[in-house]
């Protein structure tokens, strides 16, 4: 756009427009600037599987190896962010015209290329013990090589015990491939053995029993995990007026002051730290170099199937899952000391690493979960023009962390980092009841059908209809305070529960939307005290969605047909509401002001033609 050149701005990247904020005005220049450069992510995978049949045994074994490489340059803020207030001139726009900068920041990063390899092997025996009984026994082993940065070891770590030379307190930043630090982001986890067992038994002619258990490991890296912790490999500048704007941080015509890029000489144990009592300027994220573990699930199931007639069967089953060492979110730098020692003073110096702002582990293996589900299944196989199946699930999902689950509203991180059991509660993904129905029905009219109407087949034959419906209960929500008075630097504080949050369920819909729960049941805790509310306080509204389709097939020629389709998404035009606002003290606290973020919110009718040949 050339905005920087037009205003004569120097010291920033001219490819990026600056972001300019002026007190009393909005949207003058730029709402943000961003550049993402990424070469195609390379994933080369090699797989080989073998099956041996030996009598009643079907033995399968094999392995896989995957090579991964990702070159990424994610730049934001390289054009600079400038603020102009009205302190010196009485008008923010006048300060802009004078170039009287109140504050400015500039951020730019170096490109990184992360590398990592993954390998796995398995063996399984499917043993037909008798014509009615089959056993499945197997073992899988997975290993994920810790990632490393290929260009210049551009990633950091952290030592929580080493004494910092600047502050004299524990905690120094480490840099991969330097001063004896390994190039890998963290240690290897070599214990990922996953046994599995299953069976199927036809007890009687129409009775089948199935069951199984397995240990399954999570991927070491996913879309929620940064591939590289790149502290120390970026260009950062922050300039602020010393007196709130009376004196400029600098004059715009002089350009952004020069920012010295980090060099190898800067990558020392003193990096980013400030003396004890000073305001920190650096936050640290890192992979747990010595104690990283791969999360895993223990899953087990059992079901009984009964064939009621030739084409109708019913099934009841149980599915259970225990999650261990699941990737979560953890801020190590929370100021949590006994309440009797808290009071007015510098809270920063009481943090475990006062020389830094926040210090957090990337995806630490600290999460646990527990899922139990009872499933009922009824199915009619396609016959006489009709097919349908219905699934009902009654379940309960409990965990103790949800920061890596974007759809959750049940609390994002630990409030008390030193007593994480307080975070255990209903998962934000818990759905207690869910019913899913699908069906297809064809009119029994046409050639070869029970009713052959001859000429009238052109108009009556070939019609069919389908229905897909889901009815489910609501998801949990948690209540938080707008203001954190614990002095702990925890992002969320929960209130005290001083009454019953549940309101009568037979109220009019308008009353429910205006106050979904009893807002008077929550109160601000005393200063320096954690609230007694749990992570979840109740359930939000349920959801109903019904999609209907009507189809007509026209025979054109042999092996050719034209299909007309009419589809209604959310056919009853039923609104599905979102969760209530849960920030206590906010104007809309307890109110539902939005629709659910997923699904079709209003009826949609679409028509189409489909030609098959």
CA angle 601, 602, 604 (to 5 degrees): 120
Q: Which residue has the tokens 């549940």?
A: 502
Q: What is the pLDDT of residues 99-119, one digit of tens each?
A: 999 999 888 888 888 888 899
Cα separation, 119 vs 140, whole angstroms = 11
N- to C-terminal Cα distance for the chain?
A: 51
Tokens matching residue 307: 């064939």
In eight-state DSSP terms, residue 574 is: -
Q: Are 80 and 107 in contact (CB under 8 A)?
A: no
Q: Are 267 and 230 in contact (CB under 8 A)?
A: no
- pLDDT of res. 223: 57
Q: What is the pLDDT confidence band of residue 384, given thresholds at 50, 70 and 90?
A: confident
Cα separation, 443 vs 462, whole angstroms = 7
Q: Please tell me the least confidently modeled range out of 245-254, 282-291, 337-346, 361-370.
A: 337-346
Q: Are 12 and 80 in contact (CB under 8 A)?
A: yes
Q: Specify the 3-state DSSP secondary structure of 288.
A: coil
Q: What is the pLDDT of residues 275-296, one digit of tens each?
A: 998 888 888 988 888 888 999 9
Q: What is the pLDDT of residues 562-586, one digit of tens each?
A: 889 999 999 999 999 999 999 998 9
DSSP structure string for 490-528: -S----EE-S-----TTS-HHHHHH-SS-GGGEEPPPTT
Q: Specify the 3-state DSSP secondary structure of 4.
A: helix
Q: How many CA atoms lie within 13 A of 447 on its CB side?
A: 6
- pLDDT of res. 408: 38
Q: Are 147 and 225 in contact (CB under 8 A)?
A: no
Q: Report the largest interatomic distance among the alpha carbons of the chain, rounded to a whole angstrom.
A: 95
Cα dihedral sign for 298, 421, 406, 410? positive
Q: Are 370 and 395 in contact (CB under 8 A)?
A: no
């Amino acid at each position: 756009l050339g905005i920087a050149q037009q205003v004569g701005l120097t010291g920033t990247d001219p490819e990026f427009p600056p972001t300019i904020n002026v007190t009393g005005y909005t949207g003058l220049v730029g709402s943000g600037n961003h550049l993402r450069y990424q070469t195609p992510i390379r994933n080369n995978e090699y797989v080989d599987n073998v099956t041996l049949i030996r009598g009643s045994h079907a033995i399968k074994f094999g392995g896989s190896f995957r090579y991964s490489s990702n070159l990424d340059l994610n730049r934001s803020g390289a054009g600079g962010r400038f603020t102009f207030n009205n302190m010196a001139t009485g008008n923010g726009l006048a300060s802009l015209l004078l170039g009287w900068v109140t504050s400015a920041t500039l951020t730019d990063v170096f490109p990184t290329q992360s590398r990592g390899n993954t390998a796995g092997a398995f063996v399984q025996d499917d043993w037909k013990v008798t014509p009615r009984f089959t056993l499945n026994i197997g073992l899988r082993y997975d290993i994920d090589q810790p990632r490393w940065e290929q260009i210049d070891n551009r990633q950091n770590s952290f030592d929580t015990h080493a004494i910092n030379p600047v502050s004299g307190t524990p905690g120094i930043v480490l840099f991969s491939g330097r001063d004896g630090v390994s190039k890998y982001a963290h240690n290897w986890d070599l214990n990922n053995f996953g046994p599995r067992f299953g069976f199927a038994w036809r007890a009687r002619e129409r009775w089948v029993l199935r069951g199984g258990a397995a240990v399954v490991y999570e991927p070491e890296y996913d879309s929620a995990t940064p591939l590289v912790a790149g502290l120390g490999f970026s260009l950062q500048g922050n300039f602020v007026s010393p007196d709130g704007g009376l004196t400029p941080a600098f004059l715009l015509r002089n350009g952004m002051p020069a920012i010295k890029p980090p060099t190898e000489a800067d990558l020392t144990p003193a990096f980013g730290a400030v003396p004890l009592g000073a305001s920190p300027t650096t936050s640290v994220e890192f992979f747990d170099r010595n104690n990283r573990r791969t999360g895993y699930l223990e899953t087990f199931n059992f079901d009984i199937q009964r064939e009621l007639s030739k084409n109708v069967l019913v099934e009841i089953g149980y599915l259970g899952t225990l999650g261990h060492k699941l990737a979560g979110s953890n801020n190590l730098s929370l100021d949590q000391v006994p309440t009797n020692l808290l009071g007015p003073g510098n809270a920063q110096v009481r943090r475990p690493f006062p020389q830094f702002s926040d210090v957090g582990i990337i995806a630490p293996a600290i999460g646990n979960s527990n899922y139990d589900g009872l499933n009922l299944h009824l199915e009619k196989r396609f016959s006489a023009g009709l097919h349908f199946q219905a699934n009902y699930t009654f379940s309960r999902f409990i965990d103790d962390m949800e920061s890596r689950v974007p759809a959750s509203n049940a609390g994002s991180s630990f409030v008390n980092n030193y007593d994480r059991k307080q975070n255990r509660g209903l998962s934000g993904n818990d759905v207690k009841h869910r019913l899913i129905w699908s069906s297809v029905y064809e009119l029994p009219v046409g050639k070869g059908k029970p009713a052959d109407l001859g000429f009238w087949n052109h108009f009556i034959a070939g019609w069919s209809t389908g229905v897909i419906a889901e009815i489910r209960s609501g998801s949990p929500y948690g209540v938080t305070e707008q203001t954190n008075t614990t002095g702990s630097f925890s992002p969320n504080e929960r209130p005290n529960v001083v009454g019953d949050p549940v309101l009568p369920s037979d109220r009019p819909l308008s009353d429910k939307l205006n106050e979904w729960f009893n807002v008077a049941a929550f109160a601000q805790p005393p200063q320096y005290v954690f609230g007694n509310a749990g992570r979840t306080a109740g359930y939000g509204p349920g959801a109903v969605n019904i999609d209907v389709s009507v189809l007509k097939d026209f025979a054109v020629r042999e092996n050719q047909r034209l299909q007309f389709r009419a589809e209604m998404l959310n056919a009853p035009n039923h609104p599905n509401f979102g969760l209530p606002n849960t920030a206590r003290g906010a104007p809309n606290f307890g109110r539902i002001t939005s629709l659910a973020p997923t699904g079709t919110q209003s009826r949609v009718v679409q028509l189409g033609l489909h030609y098959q040949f």
